[in-house]
Amino acid sequence: MGLYPPSERIWWSEPIAKTEIVWIVLAFIWGLIMFFMMIYWHAAGEQNLSNEAYRIDPEVFAERTEAMVEKYTVREQGETGIPVVHPPPSSDVYLIARTWEWWPILELEKGESYRLHLSSMDWQHGFSLQPVNINLQVYPGYEMVLTLTPTETGEFGIVCNEYCGIGHHEMLGRIIVVEK
């Protein structure tokens, strides 16, 4: 038996083979399961962050970040001179994305919660926290806010994962987690 065009032009009123109906029903049920799993994983999964987004003027965001940096800088990072900031636990912490850096370097305490605000000064960047694989898009004019509670000490890398121009591959940042 070969493959031929249907002999009747109105092919959809042809009877459907039982196996085909079974597969259509199975695929439909599986589709529904996958759909409701999205809602389930939002609550129960560990990979999907419940973050918030608000409109913000890039200048206002820069002012808030600079105020935090001015108050809580503990040292500067060697070669780059980027400030390392140690804000108090439970506070609002700010991280700027801009061509082509993450500013400043945040030093957080293990087991404490912070409200992390992310925004861009110019165009779209991607916040990718390594090696924990947290990914967020960062836009100018909007701040992404999430509650962050580090569970391990160490140095975490931030990679920009949205192509943002010639220096994209050098846009690396850092979050340091220390003991209380």
Residue span binding ligand CUA (CB under 6 A) among the ranges 21-29, 50-58, 127-135, 155-163 = 155-163
Which amino acid does the sequence have at 147? T
Report, in this order, helix, strand and coil percent for the chain, each rounded to 5: 25, 35, 35
Say whether residue 171 binds ligand CUA (CB under 6 A): yes
Q: Which of 68, 105, 164, 175 binds ligand CUA (CB under 6 A)?
A: 164
Say whether residue 107 binds ligand CUA (CB under 6 A): no
Q: Which of 148, 160, 175, 177 binds ligand CUA (CB under 6 A)?
A: 160
At 5, list the tokens. Answer: 């065009």
Residue span binding ligand CUA (CB under 6 A) among the ranges 25-33, 59-67, 68-76, 159-167 = 159-167
Cβ–Cβ under 8 Å, residues 53 and 144:
yes
Say whether residue 172 binds ligand CUA (CB under 6 A): no
Residues in the chain: 180
State the number of CA atoms in the 13 A half-sphere of 136 facing the CB.
26
Say whether residue 122 binds ligand CUA (CB under 6 A): no
Q: Which of 72, 96, 108, 125 binds ligand CUA (CB under 6 A)?
A: 125
d(CA 134, CA 154): 16
Say whether residue 168 binds ligand CUA (CB under 6 A): yes
Shortest approach of ligand CUA to residue 153 CB, angstroms? 27
Rounded to the nearest angstrom, the gap between the alpha carbon of residue 7 and the centroid of all alpha carbons in its chain is 53
* CA angle 82–88–93, rounded 5-degree value: 55
Contact set with ligand CUA (CB under 6 A): 100, 125, 160, 162-164, 168, 171
